[in-house]
Each structure stands twice: as C-alpha cells, then as structure tokens.
Amino acid sequence: MAKKSSARRRLEAKKQQPEYSPERLTKDLDCVRRVHVKLGRGRSAIYDYWGAVYKLRRKWRRLRKRGVKVKQIAKRAVSGGVPASSGDDLLRLIIDATMSTTAQSPTASTKLSKLKSKYFSLLNYVYSQKVKTANVDQFIKDHGGLNFEPSSLPKPKRRKRGSGT
C-alpha cells in the first residue's frame, strides 16, 4: 500500500473541515442583531436575546473543536476585530456587534455601555459554567435573572501564599 502524498492529505483535511466564512459569520451576527432589534417591551423579552447570543457562542465553540479558527475569521469580518476582554473575547464580540442604539446622546451611549457590560458578565458566567443552550433561561433565572450581579457569585478560593520564612 502506497503512502499518501502530503498535498493529498492536506486536500483531504481541507475537505473534512466545515466551511465557515466571514460572510457566514456576518450572517450569524445579523441573526442575533435582529433578535435584539425585535425585542419586545416585556420584562422577560431580554431572555430571547441572551439565548441567541449564547447559542451563537456555543456554535463557535463547536466549530473551533472541529478545526475552524473563528477568531481569525472574525478579525477579517468585523470592523475593529475581536475586542480584548477579561472574559471570553468572542462573547464580547457578539454583544458589541449586535447591541446598538439609535440615540446619539452621551447618556444613551453610557447606558448602552453599562448594559453591554452587565450582559457580558452574565453570559460569561453562564458560559464558564458550560450550561446547555436549552437551559440558559432557567439557569439565569436561578441566579438572579434581570438582577444578576457578578459580585454576588461565589468567588473561587485561592491558595494562600506562604510568608517564605
């Protein structure tokens, strides 16, 4: 049995990788953006947006496990690239790219920035807990819902450093 050439192996590997292009990424972000734009005024309407954001982030995680480099694709597709963050960069990207306001006042901009930060903290915590997409609403409700506060979450215990003497 003859060995496969390296060019042939690369071609086969490329065929096995799922196609995910900058255009597809933009289309996925547009779907989440539409959910945000069509939010109702009800108290629980925001859960639809949170679910859409979380679903897209989980999709990107599955694609990454199959070899797709989502961050590189996002750098090409989104103006400004992937924002650096203290949590999950791609989650921050989804929120920043899909939440916007039509008002141009500094107050509206500040309020939007605070909402983005709050939503990011909430969804970053949910993502770190590896919650299934179908259980996101209930998980959020169990952890304070709209009143979620990251400061109220149990902090991970750190080892104390010795005095060295």
pLDDT tens digit sequence for 130-158: 999 999 999 999 888 888 776 666 555 55
Mean pLDDT of the chain: 83
Q: Is the predicted pLDDT of residue 41 greater than 60, yes or no?
A: yes
In percent, how much of the chain has pLDDT > 70?
78
How far apart (Å, rounded) are the C-alpha atoms in residues 94 and 31? 11
How far apart (Å, rounded) are the C-alpha atoms in residues 120 and 14? 34
83-109: average pLDDT: 84
Q: Is the predicted pLDDT of residue 23 greater than 90, yes or no?
A: yes
Note the pTM of the prediction, 2 decimals: 0.77
pLDDT on residue 150:
63
The CA angle 155-157-160, to the nearest 5 degrees, is: 135
Q: Among 89-103, 109-123, 132-146, 149-163, name the one with the lowest average pLDDT.
A: 149-163
89-115: average pLDDT: 86
Report the candidate in 79, 72, 108 with the shortest Cα–Cα distance to residue 96. 79
**With contact defined as beta carbons under 8 Å apart, do 53 and 123 qualify?**
yes
